[in-house]
A and B are shown apart, each in its own frame.
Chain A
Amino acid sequence: MDFNVKEKYHLSQRAEFFVHHQQLDTTTDRARFVDGIFDRQVNKSLFIKLPKWNPKSFKNKSEKQKREIRKERRQQAKQLNYLWFKQMLDSDKGFIEKMTLFWHGHFACRTIDDPYLTLEMNNLLRNNALGNFKTLLFAVAKSASMINYLHLRQNKKGQANEDFARELCELFTLGRDVDYTEKDVSEIARAFTGWRTDEYGKHLVVDRIHDNGEKTIFGKTGNFNGEDVLNMLLDNKHTSDFIVTKVYKFFVKEDVNKEHIKELSAVFYDSKYDITSLMKFLFNADWFYESKGQLIKGPIEFLVGFGKMFDLKYPHQKAIQGIQYYLGQVLFDPPNVAGCAGGRHWIDASRFALRLRLPSLILNRGYVMDELSPELDEMLAKKQKKQDFKFSEPINWDQFWKNNKEANLFDLLIRNENNQLKENHKEVNNTGVIHLLSTPDFQLT
């Protein structure tokens, strides 16, 4: 089956943020093109040098020293935000990082204050991003990040804390109010009592506070533990439905087609939750290509896609984090455990104005004001002065034209058929490119 260039643009921009025209695989075979994307992904763990984790020495520090350590950790976590963002720009990692971003939204966990947790969670998401969902779910449930975040530490025999149990059902597997009751939540919480990590972050079950009694979960009675519950959840086909629906909304469109979900879920469940099988099926489905231009880019997708287009280095960590904040998506800082709501939720008048203006600011070597940064509160309290900062280095336009010399620029940059806009941009120069990038149309992929 002939795979045309517009379909290649569609797939590569959805799967890998953006790929230059000259770098596209020249095959006209769709399945081979799809395989090529999977084959060239390089899994590189996020890494920064951190002091060796020593919980005992932290405990013995004075309040003042602890504050300084915490401050330093916040800085390190910010550095990780920057490193991950930069890694998304790499041409051999686009798809694996996009999948990691998807899981980052699904298993939303706020780790912005702690580089150790940030590294743990982000790397386990990446290592399993195209692997098996069962392995991923088990790893997340046993991670220090999630155990901290959803209060499993406080979940003890006789004093259950239901936070994790509830979100496990509602947000991670079945979906809200699907196949579980309040009673199930309470009983599931009991099954997870004693789940902890040791002081080095390794998972363990503390017998002393684990509830060994009989529990009735999903209509079955037995002495279930946490792992039993995870297996029961995975046995339920609604878990598969729920995950593929989220994948669909992230990679295809918000307006869900039930038939497509059925197809995806069958593949996912029958493959025993193999993520690669699911994604290959999706990218080979005809209907995937009919969805072009119907998905509103998330802020990170917008920034990374744009960055790859012009090989931007985004040299200033503070600038890129400021922009993430203004646009409403800061890596490692989801609004809550439900993650960011996508689609039209990304758009309000203020953010929209900034999105339309941003490409021209960057491509014209503009400056972005720092007056809206996450540090605003802190700055106000300290009565510090606002400051401008530079956003980007000069744009290498020659490189851009070389990378896309055989492309029709409208087709490359704009995913929907807006005839009026197309008519006005049959042949474009630098200014024309800036114009195309400053349209509502460019907000879609």
Chain B
Amino acid sequence: MDRREFLSKTGIITAGAILVPSFLKANTFSSQLNLSKKRLVVIQLSGGNDGLNAVVPYGLDEYYTNRSVLGVAQSELLKIDDKFGFNPQLSGLHRLQQKGWLSIINSVGYPNPNRSHFRSMDIWHTASDSNEYKQTGWLGSYLDNNCENAFEGIEIGGSLSLSMKGQTNSGVALTDPKAFYDTIHSDFFDALQHPNSQNNELNFLYKVLNDTKNSAKYIFDQYKLKTNSTDYPKGEFAKQLKKIATLIKSDIQTPIFYTTLGGFDTHVNQKGTQDYLFGQLDGGVTAFVNDLEKDDLLKDTTILIFSEFGRRLKENASRGTDHGAANALFVIDTNLSKKAHGYNQIDLSDLENGDPKFKVDFRSVYQEVLTSTLGVNSQEVLGNQYKELGLF
């Protein structure tokens, strides 16, 4: 039974109950909610991560022919199999992969790839075709169909991603639970009364006001419950993941978390930048995974790591790489199937405009996490059925 169904079966969704703040409903019934559901943590790598130097196809000649400067030497790699190895900066991800907890899905993309950061990110956010413009995100559609409160999708960051924007229900973006609470917490805002107006837009805004106040309070209250003394590496990204872990440990009723690590647009002198960013990514994710595992919370968590596109196979003249298309993506989960480990292949002999062709539609991956992690009908969210990958 999902939340909506539960609430409607128990008669909570009735005209008279509308005045009950929705977060109270969630709180009151927290033990019954999310019974079979897990939570999803999305990590967005902005700028177009060079997947070819993350999961290095050292067994393919074309890699070293095209990457004479930037190619990572075979001896440095953390081997996955006889063709692929992780960049040495990604030792934590490599360990997870060796444990069977991390799936590499390679050549993920979509037909007619767009090489603009903004447009391609939009496409990933809205799960649209490359010639289609949607105003709501794929996680936003999930929130629309299954949730009622802003706190059910939390993005740690300054501005809410299009992914998290729904038609009627959007997630909430915050850099810090206390700061967000302080923004909306004041006697004046508390005293504002819903006008029950004839004006639908006004009623909508008062509804958002209540939701914002309640969500801010609920998130901050949960955040304060336990101090998280686990050590995380330095840097903003690890801090964001620590905030997410702290919230998860509080038993917060939030199925979706979202955060971003930016700076991957490495046209020039890629190695230094990428090494630094990979260090941030690997250190943060490793600490996060260990932290959740310690409290036995990792088993209910799926982590999805994606970027808007990969980079071109051939490096450019500035020791960098230009915008590409299909890319490697990571799914971390302790319950991956055997099949989940069969998607790390890439074909470098068959290129389109100098980029490896896409083999797996990114929406197939969305479909898997919607179905298995979030336990919903993916077609209602994505509008279409995509090829099954059988990751879980």
Known: A294-B199, A381-B276, A416-B197. A352 touches B208 (CB 8 A): yes
Asked if B97 is at the interface (CB within 8 A of a chain A CB), the reply is: no
Q: How many A-B residue pairs have C-beta atoms within 8 angstroms? Tell me.
A: 141
Q: How many B residues face the partner with a CB closer than 8 A?
A: 57
- In the complex, the answer to whether B204 meets A348 with C-beta atoms within 8 Å is no
A421–B208 contact, CB under 8 A?
A: no
Asked if residues B202 and A441 are in contact (CB atoms below 8 Å), the reply is: yes
Give residues 190-209 of B contacting A (CB, 8 Å).
Answer: 192-193, 195, 197, 199-202, 204-206, 208-209
Q: Does B318 contact A (CB under 8 A)?
A: yes
Contact call B205/A440, Cβ cutoff below 8 A:
yes
20 A-B pairs besides A295-B201, A345-B135 with CB distance below 8 A are A67-B268, A254-B201, A293-B199, A325-B158, A335-B162, A338-B133, A338-B135, A348-B171, A349-B211, A349-B216, A350-B174, A350-B180, A351-B160, A352-B205, A352-B212, A380-B235, A380-B237, A381-B263, A416-B199, A440-B202
Contact of A12 with B by CB under 8 A: no
A354 to B47, CA, bound (A): 27
Q: Which residues of B contact A (CB under 8 A)?
A: 46-47, 118-119, 122, 131, 133, 135, 150, 157-160, 162, 165, 170-175, 179-180, 183-184, 188-189, 192-193, 195, 197, 199-202, 204-206, 208-209, 211-212, 215-216, 235-237, 260-263, 268, 273, 276-277, 317-318
B121 → chain A, closest Cβ, in Å? Answer: 9
Across the interface, A420 reaches (CB within 8 A) one of B195, B208, B216, namely B195
Tell me which residues across on chain B come within 8 A of A416, comparing CB atoms: 197, 199, 202
A371, A378, A417, A440: the one contacting B158 at CB < 8 Å is A371
User: A376 — which chain B residues lie within 8 A by C-beta?
Assistant: 158, 262
Within the complex, which residue of B118, B179, B200 is in contact with A110, where a contact is CB–CB below 8 Å? B118
Mark out the residues of chain A between 175 and 225 whose CB falls within 8 Å of any chain B CB in the assembled complex.
Answer: none
Q: Contact: A63 with B317, CB < 8 Å?
A: yes
The 30 listed contacts between A and B (C-beta, < 8 Å) are: A63-B317, A110-B118, A293-B199, A293-B201, A293-B202, A326-B159, A337-B133, A341-B135, A343-B201, A344-B201, A349-B208, A349-B211, A349-B215, A350-B159, A350-B172, A350-B174, A351-B159, A352-B205, A354-B183, A356-B184, A356-B209, A357-B183, A373-B158, A380-B236, A380-B261, A380-B263, A381-B273, A416-B199, A418-B197, A435-B188
Q: Which residue of B lies closest to A380 (CB)?
A: B236
For A348-391 the 0/1 string (1 means CB < 8 A from B) is 11111110110000000000010111001110110100000000
A328 within 8 A of B: yes
Residues of A within 8 A of B201 (CB): 253-254, 293-296, 343-344, 444
Return the contact of B209 from the options A352, A378, A381 (Cβ within 8 A): A352
In the complex, what residue of chain A is closest to B149 when comparing beta carbons? Answer: A349
* A79 at the binding interface (Cβ < 8 Å): no
Q: How far is the CA of A337 from the CA of B116 in the complex (A)?
A: 12
Provide the residues of chain B in CB contact with A372, threshold 8 Å: 157-159, 175
B180 touching A348 by the CB < 8 A rule? no
Interface string of A318-356 (1 = CB under 8 A from B): 000000011010000001111001011101111111101
| Structural contact, A326 and B133, CB atoms closer than 8 A | no
Complex Cα distance, B237 from A336, in Å, reads 27
Closest to A371 in B: B175
Counting CB contacts under 8 A, is A166 at the interface?
yes
Residues of B with C-beta under 8 A to A443: 205
Residue of B nearest to A327 (CB): B159
A416-428 Cβ-contact flags toward B at 8 Å (1 or 0):
1111110000000
Say how far B113's CB is from chain A's closest CB, in angstroms: 13
Give complex CA distance A171, B261 in Å: 33
Chain B residue with Cβ nearest A443: B205
- A444 and B262 in contact (CB under 8 A), knowing A349-B208, A371-B158, A376-B158? no
Q: Which residues from A are CB-within-8-Å of B158?
A: 325-326, 371-373, 376
Residue of chain A at shortest CB distance from B267: A67
Docked CA distance A410–B355 (Å): 60
* Partner among A336, A353, A371, A418 whose Cβ is within 8 Å of the Cβ of B195: A418
- Contact in complex: A418, B202 (CB < 8 Å): yes
A440 to B355 Cα, complex, angstroms = 49
Within the complex, the shortest CB–CB distance from B229 to chain A, in Å, comes to: 24
**Out of B47, B189, B195, which one reaches A421, CB within 8 Å?**
B195
> How far is B200's CA from A416's CA once the two chains are assembled, in angstroms?
11
* Minimum CB–CB distance for B200 against chain A, Å: 8
In the complex, which residues of chain B have a beta carbon less than 8 angstroms from the beta carbon of A383? Answer: 235
